[in-house]
Amino acid sequence: MNGQGRTGPQTGGPQTGERQMNERQMNGNVLEVSDLRVQIASRRGLVRAVDGVSFEVPRGGALGLVGESGSGKSMTLRAVLGVLPPEAHVVSGQVRLDGTDLLTLNHDSLNRMRGPKISMIFQEPMSALNPVMRVGQQIAEGPRIHLGYSRARAAERTLELMRRVGIPDPERRYRAYPHEFSGGMRQRVMIAIALACEPEIILCDEPTTALDVTIQDQILRLLAALCRESGVSLVFVTHDLPVVAQVCQQVAVMYGGQLVERGDVRDVLLDPRHPYTLGLVRSAPDFEYVQDSLRPIPGSPPSLITPPPGCRFHPRCEFAEDDCRTGEVPLRILPGGRATACLHYERCLDALAADRAGQ
């Protein structure tokens, strides 16, 4: 690993940068989420949007959280940062950031963590940015408030950040408003804001979904490079499997508010051990090889108000047996450190072998 990031903060920066690098090189997890449960009150009943989710993010690592709409991936992310919509609330669980449980903090203490410890990049930069505030000021706000920088020093830091995320001509762009930027440039601004106070971890909620493929490519490479250079950790929520493979080392697959599979990104996506992951991989048109016919997952996602008993995927699963229909089906650790919630995961192996023989 490089001893130093390419660019440290302008003044007094290199020392803090180095200190953080050393801290980050220590083993351990920067974020530990355990048994997180989020419920949403709706007219039709209580929606169990997140139902017992646990995961860890290693220091300097990137974890992908994938799933379809309604799987609870965004709710998980929002619960971690404490920005749930008003009708949703955390009913149990722990979110430990460097040992501190974020769920027990009051509003002010949590606010002090946002920025210097943890920050977030949203899908729609146009609605996340303030439309009537100059871009430079929005980036400088964090260092001013959290790091106590003077106006001049914050401005200097802002220009450096803008350069680092690849915004051309930062001196002029500093005074621009978000609407004057393209989608890709706005997302770069979001990244600069997220990085401004050198957080330990950045939560990314579908940061490239609204972007074109060439711009997505630029942003993904930028995020990967920033991760590598500054040692910041990422949690990356997306529905796009190849995108996860580009940025993350680890991936966790969500279905019906629960984790169903977790492991090294290439293991999970190329060699799934859960029928839902297998279904996702089979139904996505793959660029590498053309399948004769795509194989959709039959049925539709479960109701989160009255989820099916047993494994939540069993009504749509081709491998389902009687034991899948009752009782809890928790994640089990498999050899090699990966985990699956499937009781009959070995059937995925046979199905994959059959797929490959047919190719």
For another protein, the closer CB: 158 or 216 = 216
| Token duo for residue 352 | 């994959």
Which CA distances in Å does 224 have to 32, 39, 236, 322? 22, 33, 11, 44
Minimum distance from CB of 69 to another protein (Å)?
6
Nearer to another protein, 155 or 280 (CB): 280
Nearer to another protein, 201 or 243 (CB): 243
Are 340 and 274 within 8 A, CB to CB? yes
**Which CB, 28 or 299, lies closer to another protein?**
299
Identity of the residue, 226 or 341, whose beta carbon is nearer to another protein in the bound complex: 226
> Residue 255: which H helix or E strand, with range?
strand 250-255
Quote the least distance from Cβ 228 to another protein, whole Å.
6
Is the CB of residue 263 less than 8 Å from the CB of residue 339? yes
165 close to 111: Cβ distance less than 8 angstroms? no
Which residues lie below 8 Å from residue 354, measured CB to CB, with a gap of 6+?
Answer: none
DSSP reduced 3-state for 131: coil
Residue closer to another protein by CB (options 239, 325) is 239
Contact 68, 37 (CB under 8 A): no
CA 26 to mean position of chain CA atoms:
22
Q: Closest CB to another protein among 120 and 280?
A: 280
Q: Give me the helices (H) in 129-273, please.
A: 135-146, 151-164, 170-173, 183-195, 213-230, 241-247, 265-270
CB 231 → another protein: shortest distance, Å?
Answer: 13
Smallest distance from the beta carbon of 151 to another protein, in angstroms? 27
Taking the complex as a whole, the smallest distance from the CB of residue 217 to another protein amounts, in Å, to 4
Looking at beta carbons only, is 284 or 352 nearer to another protein?
Answer: 284
Contacts of 227 (CB under 8 A, 6+ apart): 60, 62, 233, 234, 247
Residue 3 C-beta: closest distance to another protein, Å = 18
Q: What is the nearest approach in angstroms of another protein to the Cβ of residue 242? A: 4
Q: Which is nearer to another protein, 227 or 339 (CB)?
A: 227
Residue 270 Cβ vs another protein, minimum distance, rounded to whole Å: 6
Is 149 or 236 the residue whose CB approaches another protein more closely?
Answer: 236
The site for another protein (CB under 8 A) is made up of 68-69, 166-168, 182-185, 212-218, 220-221, 223-225, 227-228, 239-243, 245-247, 266, 269-270, 279-280, 282-297, 300, 359
HSE on the CB side for 342, CA within 13 Å? 27
DSSP percent split of the chain into helix, strand, coil, nearest 5: 40, 20, 40
Q: How far is the CB of 49 from another protein (least distance, A)?
A: 16
Round to whole Å and give the CA distance between 134 and 246: 32
- Provide the minimum distance between the beta carbon of 283 and another protein in the complex, in angstroms, as a whole number: 4
Distance CA 67, CA 313 (A): 13
Distance CA 103, CA 36 (A): 10
